[in-house]
């Protein structure tokens, strides 16, 4: 993916400040990977992917507020609320979410400011609904929402394509929440192409007590593959293409057919690192899920259910199992990052 160094005309696109909004609120969705095939890592350490993202109705909200002139020039972040459990909104496996430049939302605002020559600063307020370090791209959704919010607040006027290029610099999963709905991702997963789908899909997300690190899961996958004999099907150089059946199931709105096509190459590595995830998958499928898979690099397990009612049953069974920190039910697909206030 090409990286922008300068946004042409960025600095000159700012409107007069008189009458400009003092705050902009943006929502952006989390995601589940319906399909993820990973090839062997390249020289940059990244794995070439073929993946299908679906945006789910677990929504991150970023409010960007203009600063007083006295404070101008700083980028601050506060979290709207924080629960005590890792794997649930507000905390990471390493403790409370950082609010400095380790946070993708802050990095997104910094990157946009740098590339457009803006030094106004901004106060960001983040409300999290996507599990932290859960394999559902919550941090990426925060970055996407921040880019859209600051682009509007600062009047920088970048196009969706320009914002997506910036998002890709922040992380492989950061561009998708700008697009939302359902899309295939190639390359690092950031070269996106929308997919046509019909209908609504119902998911139950089983949250883990502790997050998993994405690089650790990818590295473990490489380790498992190198431990197997070269040439075995588990040792691919190139990622597999999206099966025709998956596209057909999505176009037909057929959840059962989609279930049969779900695939995640990272699942074996995540389950090997965290064996109880295998049990979580079993509980969900026994309770009526069409199929349950690890979401992205995990440890969230995403159970595709036939309808909202069976979702309640599956969620109850998961909670009764004692294996999960909690469950959230959501439908999909939903739109990408958008201004709501």
Binding site for ligand C5P (CB under 6 A): 41, 45-47, 49, 171-173, 188-189, 214-215, 218
DSSP 260-287: HH-EETHHHHHHHHSTHHHHHHHHHHHT
Give the containing element (helix H, strand E) for 142: helix 138-153
Taking the C-alpha atoms of residue 304 and residue 184, their distance in angstroms, rounded to an integer, is 19
Comparing CB distances to ligand C5P, the nearer of 188 and 202 is 188
For the purposes of burial, counting CB atoms within 10 Å of the CB of 298, is it exposed (0-12), middle (13-18) or buried (19 or more)? buried
119, 160 contact by CB (below 8 A): no
Q: Which of 31, 120, 128, 190 is catalytic?
A: 31
Shortest gap between Cβ of 254 and ligand C5P (angstroms)?
29
Helices (H), 154-263: 160-170, 176-179, 214-227, 244-252, 255-261
Shortest Å, Cβ 136 to ligand C5P: 13
Residues 6+ apart with CB under 8 A from 204: 284, 289, 302, 303, 305, 311, 314, 315, 318, 327, 328, 329
Least gap, CB of 222 to ligand C5P (angstroms) = 9
Shortest Cβ distance from residue 199 to ligand C5P (Å)?
Answer: 29
Which residues does 273 contact at the CB level (< 8 Å), separation at least 6?
A: 212, 216, 217, 220
> Of residues 142, 173, 190, 265, which has the active-site annotation?
173
Mention every residue, 6+ apart, whose C-beta is less than 8 A from residue 59.
27, 28, 29, 30, 129, 130, 141, 334
CA distance 56 to 339: 17
- The reply to whether 173 belongs to the active site is yes
To ligand C5P, the closest distance from the beta carbon of 175 in angstroms equals 10
Q: Kindly tell me which of 141 and 289 has the beta carbon lying closer to ligand C5P.
A: 141
Q: How far is the CB of 339 from ligand C5P (least distance, A)?
A: 25
Q: Which C-beta is closer to ligand C5P: that of 49 or that of 269?
A: 49
Closest CB to ligand C5P among 293 and 303? 293
Q: Which is nearer to ligand C5P, 3 or 70 (CB)?
A: 3
Is 128 an active-site residue? no
Closest to ligand C5P by CB, 97 or 305: 97
- Which backbone phi and psi does 35 adopt, to 5 degrees? -150, 135
- Say if residues 41 and 219 touch (Cβ distance below 8 Å): no
Which residue numbers are catalytic? 31, 173
């Amino acid at each position: 993916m090409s990286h922008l160094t300068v946004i042409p005309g960025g600095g000159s696109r700012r409107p007069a400040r008189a009458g400009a909004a003092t705050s902009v609120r943006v929502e952006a969705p989390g995601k589940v990977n319906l399909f993820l095939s990973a090839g062997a890592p390249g020289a940059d350490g990244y794995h070439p992917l073929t993946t299908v993202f679906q945006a789910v109705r677990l929504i991150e909200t970023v409010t960007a507020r203009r600063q007083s002139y006295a404070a101008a020039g700083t980028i601050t972040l506060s979290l709207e609320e924080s629960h005590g459990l890792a794997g649930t909104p507000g905390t990471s496996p390493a403790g409370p979410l950082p609010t400095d430049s380790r946070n993708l939302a802050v990095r997104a605002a910094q990157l946009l400011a740098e590339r457009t020559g803006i030094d106004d600063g901004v106060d960001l307020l983040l409300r999290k609904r996507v599990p932290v370090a859960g394999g559902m791209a919550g941090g990426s959704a925060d970055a996407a929402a921040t880019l859209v919010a600051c682009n509007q607040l600062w009047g920088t006027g970048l196009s969706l394509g320009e914002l997506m290029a910036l998002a890709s610099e922040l992380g492989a999963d950061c561009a998708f929440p700008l697009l939302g709905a359902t899309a295939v991702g190639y390359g690092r997963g950031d070269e996106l192409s929308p997919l046509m789908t019909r209908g609504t899909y119902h998911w139950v997300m089983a949250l883990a007590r502790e997050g998993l690190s994405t690089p650790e899961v990818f590295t473990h996958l490489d380790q498992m593959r190198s431990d197997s004999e070269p040439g075995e099907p588990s040792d691919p150089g190139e990622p597999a293409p999206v099966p025709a059946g998956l596209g057909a199931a999505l176009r037909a709105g057929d959840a059962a057919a989609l279930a049969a096509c779900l695939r995640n190459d990272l699942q074996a590595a995540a389950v090997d690192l965290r064996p109880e995830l295998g049990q979580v998958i079993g509980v969900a499928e026994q309770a009526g899920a069409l199929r349950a898979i690890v979401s992205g690099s995990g440890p969230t397990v995403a159970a595709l259910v036939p309808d909202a009612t069976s979702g309640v049953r599956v969620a109850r069974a998961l909670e009764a199992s004692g294996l999960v920190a909690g469950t959230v039910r959501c439908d999909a697909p939903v739109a990408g990052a958008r201004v709501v206030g």
